[in-house]
Amino acid sequence: SGSEYINTDIVTLTRFLTEEQARHKEATGDFTLLCHALQFAFKQIAYYIRRATLINLTGLAGSVNETGDDQKKLDVISNDLFIAAMRSSGRVRLLVSEEEEEAIIFDHPDARYAVVCDPIDGSSNLDAGVSVGTIFGIYKLSDAATGTKEDMLKPGTELVASGFTMYGASAMLVITMKGGNVNGFTLDNALGEFILTHPNMRIPKSRAIYSVNEGNSCYWEEPVKKWVESLKDPEANGGKPYSARYIGSMVADAYRTLLYGGIFAYPADKKSPKGKLRILYECAPMAQVFENAGGQAVDSNMRRMIDVVPEHIHDRSGIFLGSYDEVQKVIDIHKKHAA
Ligand code: P6P
């Protein structure tokens, strides 16, 4: 009979979260409810992205966000959906979004969680059909929390959970808990369920793929130039150079790197001395995912990315993210250069 081919052990995200909660005797269920609100927001955003081209949502909304980027209608809708889902969960006290200049303080003073997010990262690629996604992180507020944006200036080591979604043909969700492993879920659009398809994701220790915008190379610091040159030198790599893969959407470049191995980099440079990607809702959540998958993540000073504490909620950083050995090559070249 065909029954041996039917996977009867389907784990939905809902079941996964329930089992996760059962592992923590002291759990009140607040974190679980927060994660259900997150998955609801991801399903709604996935719906709008899928229909965007059909109902022509990909035009400009005519409004501009605080970073001066042209806001696409989907940016605005996704940000609004995400804020509404977090507010209505009743479990979030503070929310930082790339689309909001100020931290959003919900009228839930007793809520114990804070959320950081980039609702639609890579949105400049939307019209081109390139995969975009949501990057998120969850912090548990300390008893000393004041309910102000100062509560958000934390290192990635304090993230209780982080991850990202990628809205492609089917939406993918990659999520990790502090000190836990990395799990990938695929949204079954028919059932509206996230299904565990990539349990315990581990990034290959090395892979000859590098992902960086070489259009910025004239602005790069010397060690970065030396690093990329070394990857292109066949002699230095067993006879053939690395492959270059750059999509220009962080979640897409990150997801490929997590699956295949390699390294993604957005170095700080002379044009962007602080780097381009944001610490709170791009670099730190991605860094925790990659570390929990066995990789590494450092900033442009070769500091462990999740140790970095932002001074302001929209602070940027350089980042090198990927296979353990590939990031180590960058660190070693910087050490040699410093010597
Ligand atoms: P560049 C997209 O705008 C984004 O924020 C990330 O998703 C992406 O990795 C990066 O910027 C691309 O930047 O300068 O290479 O276009």
User: What DSSP string runs through 93-146?
Assistant: EEEEETT-SSPEE-S-TT--EEEEEEEEETGGGGGGT--BEEEEEEEEPPTT--
HSE at residue 173, side-chain half, CA atoms within 13 A, is 27
Distance 160 CA to ligand 1 centre (A): 26
Cβ of 118 closer than 6 Å to ligand 1, yes or no, is no
> Would the pLDDT of 68 be above 60?
no
Ligand 1 atom nearest to 251, measured from its CA = 7
Cβ of 121 closer than 6 Å to ligand 1, yes or no, is yes
Distance 89 CA to ligand 1 centre (A): 31
CB count in 10 Å sphere of residue 245: 16
> Would the pLDDT of 159 be above 60?
yes
Residue 258: DSSP 8-state: H
Mean pLDDT of 162-179: 95
- pLDDT band with cut points at 50, 70 and 90 for residue 50: confident
The answer to whether the CB of 123 falls within 8 A of the CB of 249 is no
Cβ of 67 closer than 6 Å to ligand 1, yes or no, is no
Cβ of 98 closer than 6 Å to ligand 1, yes or no, is no
The answer to whether the CB of 209 falls within 8 A of the CB of 245 is yes
Cβ of 122 closer than 6 Å to ligand 1, yes or no, is yes
Give the closest residue (by CA) to ligand 1 atom 16. Answer: 248
Probe residue for ligand 1, chosen from 117, 216, 218, 249 as the CB with the greatest number of ligand atoms within 8 Å: 249
Cβ of 97 closer than 6 Å to ligand 1, yes or no, is no
User: Which of these, 206, 204, 205, 208, lies nearest to 236 by C-alpha position?
Assistant: 208
Predicted confidence (pLDDT) per residue in 276-301, tens digit: 999 999 999 999 999 999 999 999 99
The answer to whether the CB of 147 falls within 8 A of the CB of 94 is yes
Pairing of strands 70-72, 104-105: unpaired
Probe residue for ligand 1, chosen from 218, 250, 256 as the CB with the greatest number of ligand atoms within 8 Å: 250
Distance 275 CA to ligand 1 centre (A): 11
Predicted confidence (pLDDT) per residue in 74-125, tens digit: 888 999 999 999 999 999 999 999 999 999 999 999 999 999 999 999 988 8
Predicted confidence (pLDDT) per residue in 116-153, tens digit: 999 999 988 887 888 999 999 999 999 999 999 999 99
Distance 254 CA to ligand 1 centre (A): 12
Cβ of 249 closer than 6 Å to ligand 1, yes or no, is yes
What pTM did the predictor assign?
Answer: 0.94
Probe residue for ligand 1, chosen from 264, 277, 281 as the CB with the greatest number of ligand atoms within 8 Å: 277
Distance 286 CA to ligand 1 centre (A): 14
Cβ of 213 closer than 6 Å to ligand 1, yes or no, is yes
ipTM above 0.85, yes or no: yes
Cβ neighbours for 216, distance < 8 A, ≥ 6 positions apart: 267, 269, 271
**Residue-averaged pLDDT of the chain:** 93
CA–CA dist 331, 317 (Å, integer):
16
- pLDDT band with cut points at 50, 70 and 90 for residue 169: confident
- pLDDT band with cut points at 50, 70 and 90 for residue 9: confident
Cβ neighbours for 245, distance < 8 A, ≥ 6 positions apart: 209, 210, 211, 253, 256, 262
Q: Which of 14-23, 51-60, 228-237, 311-320 has the lowest mean pLDDT?
A: 51-60
Cβ of 248 closer than 6 Å to ligand 1, yes or no, is yes
Mean pLDDT of 244-259: 98
Cβ of 321 closer than 6 Å to ligand 1, yes or no, is no
Cβ of 35 closer than 6 Å to ligand 1, yes or no, is no
What is the predicted pLDDT for the residue at 63? 59
Helix (H, G, I), strand (E, B) or coil at 322: strand
Cβ of 250 closer than 6 Å to ligand 1, yes or no, is yes
In b/e form, how buried is each residue of 265-304, taking b as 16+ CB within 10 angstroms?
Answer: bbbbbeebeebbbbbbbbbbbbbbbbbbbebbbbbbebee
